[in-house]
With several copies, the nearest count.
Chain A
C-alpha cells in the first residue's frame, strides 16, 4: 500500500495560498512522478476572510481529495491558523508566520515559527513572495518533493521577469528551514 501525504496552505485571500498549493502539487505530479490533487475552499466573498488550499500527494490514485489528517500545515494569518489547525495529525508540522500569528496553537505536532512575511518584505521588497518562501521551507521540512521539482514548478508558474526573484525566495526558504531545523 502506498502513502498519502496531506498539506494545507492557509491564510487570507490575496496571500497566494492557492498558488502555493498548485505549485506544490505540480512539483509532485508534473516534475516528479507522483499523484497529486489540489483543492481549495473560500467564502462567497472570494475576498478577505480565511482561505485554504489543500494538497494531497500519494503514489496511488487519490480518491478522497480533501485533507483530514494533515502532515504539514502553513498558516499566514491568525484567523486561518485558529480555524484550520485542528486537523493536523500527530507528529505533523505546523509552520506559522511569527508576525501574524500571535497565539500559536499547541498540540501533538511540531511547530515552526518564522518571520516569513517580514522576510518577504525586507529581503525581497514584496510581501507576495511569502508564499514562495513558505514553499521552500515546507520542502526542506518535509521532503515530500525534491528541491529540484519544487524549483521547476515555481519557475514554470511565474512570469519571466520574476523568475529570479522567486528562485531566490525559494532558496531563502530552504535555508531558513535548515536553520530552524538546526536549532532543534
Chain B
C-alpha cells in the first residue's frame, strides 16, 4: 500500500482493499453471491499482512467471530448478501448492545428469500435499520462507485472504531461486480481512526462508563479483565434489572449516534441550490440519477440530486434543505419502495417513487421521465 497505483478493480475487491487500508486484520465469513469476492480477496491478502481470514461454518458464526476478534483488539469485518444478512441479525444486535466495533458488508441481491442471487437490488435498506429485535443504533454507508467503495470502507471502519458500534456497508450487485479504475491511497492519505483505549488503571475501568459519550474499549488480554454481555448492563458491564439503568443504557447507545449525526452524515449534492425537482438516491441508483440530472439541466429543467453516502442515520436535515424549493422529490430504488417512507415522513412536497425489482438497473431515462413531470 506504499505507492499510489491505478488499478482496475471490482467493487468487491475495492471493499477488501479499503478494509486492509483501514487496518482490518480479521475477516470471518461464509461465501454468498454476490459478495464472495470480498472473502476471496481477503483470504489471499490478509495473511500477507499478518491478518487472519477464516471461513466459518455459517453467517451466524461469522458475525460472532468478528465480534470476538474485535474484543480481542483486531479491527474486524464480515461480508454477506441478503440471506446471510438475515441470519446475522441476532449477532448484529449483540454488537450494538455490547458496543463492539466491527464492519458488516451486505452486497444486495434480488430478494426476498433466495430470490435472484445474481441480480442487483436495494431491498435490504430497511432491514439494515430494523432487522434485529429491539431498539438499537444503526450506521450504514452506501457507496456507489468502485473508488468510493474503497474510501467508504475506510470511513466505515473509522466510524465503527470512533463510535464503538457495528457499521454496515450496503451496496448492490451492480457496484459490487463492476470494475472501475481505482487509485490505491498512499499511507497517510486517508484518515484512519483507531478505537480509544482506556488509560485508567484496570481496577477503575468501566467498559460502559456513562461518563463518556463513547467509553474507551480495552482489548481482552491486556490487563483489563472486564465483562461483556448482551443483557442490559450497568456501566461496569454486569447485568442489571434496575429499570433506570436498563433504559439509560439503551438510550445511551442510541444517543451516541444521534448526537453525532453531523459527523456521520455524508451527502453529495448536484445542482441542489434552487432545484425545483429533486431526486433523492443512494447506491448504484444514484449513478443513474446523476446522469439524469445532468441531462435534465442541459434541457433547462431545474433538477437536483441529493445522494446519500450515509443512509443511516437518515440524512433528514440535508433532505429537508434540498427540498426547500422543490415541487416534488423523486426516489428511485431497486425495491418496491423503502426509503421513500422516510422521505414521505420528512418532506412536504410531492413524493414519487420509482421502483424496480426485476434484476435490471433503474436507468436514467426512467428517472428523467419522472422528474420532467414536475418541471
Residues of A within 8 A of B (CB): 22, 25-26, 29-30, 35-44, 46, 49, 62-66, 68
Contact = CB atoms under 8 A, between A and B. Distances in A.
Q: Closest 7 CB pairs between A and B?
A: A38-B179, A63-B291, A64-B291, A29-B181, A63-B287, A63-B290, A39-B178
Nearest to A153: B8
B241 A43 contact: yes
B296 to A, nearest CB: 13
Interface of B: 6-8, 33, 116-119, 174, 177-181, 231, 239, 241, 284, 287-288, 290-291, 294, 361, 363-365
B178 A38 contact: yes
B174 A39 contact: yes
Contacts of A62: 180
Nearest to B175: A65
A44 B179 contact: no
B174 to A, nearest CB: 6
10 contacts: A22-B8, A35-B181, A36-B8, A39-B179, A44-B119, A44-B239, A46-B33, A62-B180, A64-B364, A65-B174
A65 B361 CA distance: 10
Given A22-B8, A44-B118, A63-B290, A37 B241 contact: no
Nearest to B11: A39
Given A22-B179, A37-B179, A44-B116, 17 more contacts: A22-B8, A29-B8, A30-B6, A30-B181, A37-B178, A38-B178, A39-B178, A44-B117, A44-B118, A44-B119, A46-B33, A62-B180, A63-B290, A63-B294, A65-B174, A66-B363, A68-B365
B361 to A, nearest CB: 6
Contacts of A42: 118
A132 B177 CA distance: 22
A25 B179 contact: yes
A40 B34 CA distance: 12
A40 B177 contact: yes
B180 A36 contact: yes
